[in-house]
Amino acid sequence: MRDGPSRPARMDVRVTGDDLRTRTARERTQSRLLIMSAGFFGLFGAVALKLSFATVIAPMAPEQRQIAPQVPPIPHSDPKGMMAGDFALPQVHRATVTDRNGQVLAISLPVAQVYANPQEMIDAQDTAKKLRTVLPKLDEAELIRRLSTKKQFVYLARDISPMQEIAINNLGIPGIYFEPGERRHYPLGRVASHILGAVDIDDHGVAGIERSMDKRLDSDRTPLRLSLDVRIQAVVREELAAAKDLFQAIGACAIVMDVNTGEIIAMVSLPDYDANDFGRADPDARFNRAVTGMYEPGSTFKLQTAAMALQLGVAHPWDRFSSIPIHIGRFTISDMRTDHFAPWLTLNEVMAYSSNPAAAHMALDVGAQRQQTWLRDMGFFAPVPIELPEAGRPIVPRTWGISTVMTVGFGHGVAEPPLAIVRGTAATVNGGILLHPTLMARDADHANDPVGLTPAVAEAAPPTLTPAVITAASTEDKVDAATMPGATRVISPETSALLRRILRLDVTKGTGKTAESPGYFVGGKTGTAEKIGPHGGYLKHVNIAAFTSIFPMNAPRYAVYVMLDSPKPTPQTHGWTTAAWNSAPTVSKIVTRIGPMLGLFPNTTNPQAVDDAMAIPLEPAVPRGYRPLGPGNDPGDPRNQPKAPKTPAHDATHTAALPPRARLHAARAEQAAPRRPTHPEVRG
């Protein structure tokens, strides 16, 4: 046996069939796991890539169904205001209200109500803390209490903004839900608050335009365009507030109206309130003095007496009326003690100087029946037709005897809303058409271009005033009664032309001098009435001071009315509280400021020529062949009435025909009845 290195023993490895099958199965399983792992890796990679694009690289906007449906799209920038006048938010059903230029006055904004189902809450305390990060004004303790109840529905917050809704939605709190809604908003606050009114919690109108146009605003989303001009509204409010503060009045109102269309350009009542806070506003602030307040018109009503007498042919500018005090019963109708009028005044002087007894005589010449008919036809017996549910009904006497005829003749014994005075004034100067005032912007067919203030005027002196000249003095009608809604003719164009000259006379030579605005040819009538006290008597030295005016008188376009309730005297007024010292100068300031805004500019070229063309003498010459009213010819003088027997059919109309003693008894009997006393010693 050879010695040598030893060799490892040879191992005999044998693989059985079972081992081979096990290995094959294991390898197959490994392959499958690798394939599945690769599949899952690819799937999760695709998801991760998609999420990266969706949340980081190119985030996608949420679908509309993922958030509450009332959330509007982000609006585009509109620096030029191109959307004004046609602005409506999605999912908001109540229409916007704008002024005549498209300025938004009332708009509904999308809001949401937040509510929860406490049964779905996981952690009430954690939910309350998260909600307060978006709505910090919420009471956390109260929130926890509500979210811990066993109810299935609790309100958490109302009227939240869309941005707050999105922020709460992003918190991902289960059990929090949103209810779509809208909230009415008035962007300009106090501007036109009495006109706009308000809505209740269910978005139904409760006052103003919101109430009168409720169905229209809910059924048609097209913006409702009013006749108001917020620029004019702001100026009128500023000047009226300044006058109210200066004279320490307890209230005031002002109106600007287009005399050719009836459109209300501005209407202000003070004190006022923020339209967004209607529910908490003081009742006195919510009171609309322009249409709801009833005030004795005072001497502004003498315009109606003069218009009535001229239109009916009872009087002419040259006729004279007694200014001597009238004693009836225990009352006296007289002018202020400081007035020193001639015993007899022409119709023009009655208007310019504002004599109460003379106006009473003029009314007596017309008579009770015709006076009532005139005032009824002029709309003074019914509420003014305006789109405001607050419009009140005038207060008129139940009986219409001789004392009523006289006192109504100079604006006492009746109570009218200021808008009724404005409406009546417009009818006297626009060619004689009584219009329906409106807060709705007229169609283009009824819109008027600004009237020029520099018409061609003859340099020659005005002709002598005669009946023929009065007839020829009429100008082309500014208003077409056939096309204007609700318009009716109440005065002839000839009488209207004459009244324009008389109203201008009141500013150039009468009590309204302080209303003048150079180049605008203002015309108008002052009116001061003593207020009625709580027990029915007149309050001494407590007045309603008003001025009703038109400008420009050579081409009437706008009426401006100002009323101050209980103004106090100042050193500048020398102790007076009459309209000539407070309301008239306020009108002057308003006209001067709003004229250019309305496209009317003062005439600085030939103002004297324009005034000369409109001039009318205080004491017109009596035309040949006419016997004027006056001394010895005064049919309205109670002492000149023929004796008439009393019959069962006796009424207020026949009272004027009684002899002096019988008339005095009738007057005393009328005074004994419960009614307002006749007005003593007050002049416009």
Q: What is the pLDDT of residues 169-191, one digit of tens each?
A: 898 888 899 888 888 999 999 99
Q: Is the pLDDT score of 71 beyond 90?
A: no
Separation of alpha carbons 72 and 110, rounded Å: 8
Average pLDDT, the chain: 83
Q: What is the pLDDT of residue 578?
A: 93
Q: Is 299 labeled as catalytic in the residue annotation?
A: yes
- pLDDT at position 245, please? 97
Query: What pLDDT is stored for residue 540 in this prediction?
Result: 76
Q: Which of 265-274, 528-537, 672-681 has the highest mean pLDDT?
A: 265-274
Bigger pLDDT: 469 vs 402: 402
Which among 299, 355, 549, 588 is annotated as catalytic?
Answer: 299
Say which residue, 51 or 577, is predicted with more confidence.
577
Q: pLDDT tens digits for 610-664?
A: 999 999 999 999 999 889 999 988 887 765 655 544 433 333 333 333 333 333 3
Residue 53: predicted pLDDT: 75
Model confidence, pTM: 0.77
Contacts 24+ apart (CB under 8 A), 282-289: 284/251, 286/194, 286/207, 287/251, 288/194, 288/388, 288/390, 289/251, 289/252, 289/253, 289/418, 289/563, 289/565
Kindly indicate the confidence band of residue 235, based on its pLDDT and cuts at 50, 70 and 90.
very high
Confidence at residue 102, expressed as pLDDT on a 0 to 100 scale: 94
Q: What is the pLDDT of residue 472?
A: 40
Neighbouring CB atoms inside 10 A of 316's CB total 21
Residue 485: its pLDDT value, please?
A: 76
Asked if 671 and 536 count as a contact pair (C-beta separation under 8 A), the reply is no
Report the share of the chain in percent with pLDDT over 70: 79
pLDDT, tens digit, 9 for 90 and up, residues 395-446: 999 999 999 999 999 999 999 999 999 999 999 999 999 999 999 998 754 4
pLDDT value of position 6: 55
Q: Which pLDDT value is given to residue 47?
A: 84
In the prediction, which pLDDT does 324 show? Answer: 92
Q: Which residue has the higher pLDDT, 162 or 7?
A: 162
Distances (CA, A) of 60 to 51, 52, 57: 10, 11, 10
